[in-house]
Amino acid sequence: MRLRAFLAGAAALTLGMVSVPGAAPHAYAAEAHTLAPHRSSPEPASTPLNHHAPRTYSPTGTPVSGAPDGARAVSLAPGDYLDRMADKEVKYYAVDVPLGHTVYVSGTTVSTVKGLEALDLKQIDDRSGSCRTDTGLSQSLSKVVTASLNWGATSTGRNNSCARPGRQVFSVTRRGTGPPVPLELRIFLEPAVLDKGPAESVIARYTEPGGAPVPVVGGGSFADATPLPGSGHFTDDIAFGEWAFYRVRLDWGQSLALQVRVGGGRGYAPTEVRLYNPVREELAQESAAVFDTEHIFAGRSDPFATRPVRYLNRSERQQELADMLPGWYYLAVAVQGEGEQRSLAVDVSVGGAKEPGPGYAPDSGAAATPPGRTPTNGAAPAGGAPAPAGGQPTGAEKSTDASAVFGGPAVWLGLPLALLLGAGPATWLIRRRASETRPG
């Protein structure tokens, strides 16, 4: 996947995206972490707005408390977990990875305190060294920071503990400002594969979906991200200080291309648009200061886009998009600062034909969750025929949708790119890759 960089103006400093080098959870689990101020006066009547209640970020997951060292790391089955972390705190967790399986781990923190918020995720070897590392960071006013890792149990030898099957330890480090913040953890185990399926393909193009605009109300977090049914034009509104989350489900063989339009208004609105895969790995980001006219993020000539979802997309080439497993792909839009709410539109183009996908080996235990099955906290169902994976179900989906987490090749390190060229909009895009990977 190519790395795109856009010119950045004075608004880059306003957004504050800066690149840097690399406690009872049960009480915190019930709290809603507010990322939205009181709504200001609406836009003029000529701008269509949905007028929904202020969005808040509500962390979700089974409460857990990470250990202070690797020897005492708490063992986690596939599923969603909720902890909390203070500044400069390090916590350790463990997961059992059977031979031939691949594990996916992600962490998410949210904060509204001014200053840098960084999250380091590391796989730890037998000597407490680092096998793999991913770092997420933000210096926006309201921050949602993610980091993700994946690795396979491919070695039976004793001299490579990073790829050895069995108990594997990973750590989470928070480098932030202010009081403790919630930490969401997601864990998914993918079984060994017998038939890898079709070869990787080219990046999708944006195709005008047509049809009338459909009003929607985006959720305030990953857990309640509003599902979009596929191709179409979807309209919403967003207030300063809010994050609006949407999700689009891709099956094997399907691709995604999209753009976001934010309406103009009085003053300027520093805005961020981010795309994540099902394991919350940040695939792309574009930021700009929106002034008095509508701004199009990831426009049709260069949209946020994936390849058709295929197992063989997981090559080790640099600048590679992590579109190698089906499931929910998340879009997040945030407007920073204070001011009037703005109109918001998401244009979605889903392409490709559904495919059978790869052939997974029958699971030998209860640890792995093939795409489409439901990972649970404490136990997961045995393997079976793969199907599209789910995310956190909302509304009517709760009765039928599976909650699964997967995605990502060797992950990408956040590298914010900004060029100060005087006045004007600021935009840039991030691709992330593993900052440190020891050969398996």
Tell whether the model's pLDDT for residue 122 goes beyond 70. Answer: yes
Interatomic CA distance for residues 412 and 157, integer angstroms: 28
Residue 227 has a pLDDT of 98
Using an 8 Å Cβ cutoff, are 141 and 15 in contact? no
Tell me the average pLDDT across 232-237.
Answer: 97
Lowest-confidence region among 21-30, 40-49, 119-128, 354-363: 21-30
Confidence bin at 157 (pLDDT 50/70/90):
low
Interatomic CA distance for residues 343 and 19, integer angstroms: 30
* 62-63, strands of its sheet edge to edge: 62-63, 79-85, 181-190, 102-111, 143-152
Using an 8 Å Cβ cutoff, are 32 and 56 in contact? yes
Name the DSSP letter for residue 244.
E
Tell me the average pLDDT across 313-326.
Answer: 71
pLDDT tens, position by position, 254-297: 999 999 999 998 888 999 999 999 999 999 999 999 999 999 99
pLDDT tens, position by position, 240-259: 999 999 999 999 999 999 99
Beta strand 117-124 with 79-85 is unpaired
Using an 8 Å Cβ cutoff, are 132 and 160 in contact? no
Q: Which residue has the tokens 């050895």?
A: 164
Q: Which of the two residues, 420 and 164, has the higher pLDDT score? A: 164
User: Which two tokens mark 382?
Assistant: 């045995």
**Residue 204 phi, psi dihedral angles, 5° rounding:** -70, 155
Residue 321 has a pLDDT of 63
Residue 81 has a pLDDT of 98
The mean pLDDT value of the chain amounts to: 75
Confidence bin at 371 (pLDDT 50/70/90):
low
Residue 44 has a pLDDT of 34
Confidence bin at 316 (pLDDT 50/70/90):
low
Confidence bin at 50 (pLDDT 50/70/90):
low
Quick one: how far is CA 185 from the chain centroid?
A: 12
Using an 8 Å Cβ cutoff, are 132 and 434 in contact? yes
Lowest-confidence region among 137-141, 308-312, 423-427: 423-427
User: Which two tokens mark 341?
Assistant: 């709410």
Q: Would you list the DSSP string of 89-129? A: -EEEEEEEE-TT-EEEEEEEEEE-SSS-EEEEEEEE-TTS-
pLDDT tens, position by position, 125-148: 988 889 999 999 998 888 999 999
Tell me the average pLDDT across 361-374.
Answer: 54
pTM to 2 decimals?
Answer: 0.77
Lowest-confidence region among 20-24, 90-94, 105-109, 374-378: 20-24
Q: Other CB atoms closer than 10 Å to residue 421's CB: what's the count?
A: 12
Bridge partners for 90 per DSSP: 173
**Residue 425 phi, psi dihedral angles, 5° rounding:** -65, 155
User: Which two tokens mark 3?
Assistant: 């790395």
Q: In this prediction, what percent of the chain has a pLDDT beyond 70?
A: 68
Residue 73 has a pLDDT of 95
| Three-class DSSP category at 72 | helix
Confidence bin at 11 (pLDDT 50/70/90):
very low
Which amino acid is located at 63 in the chain? P
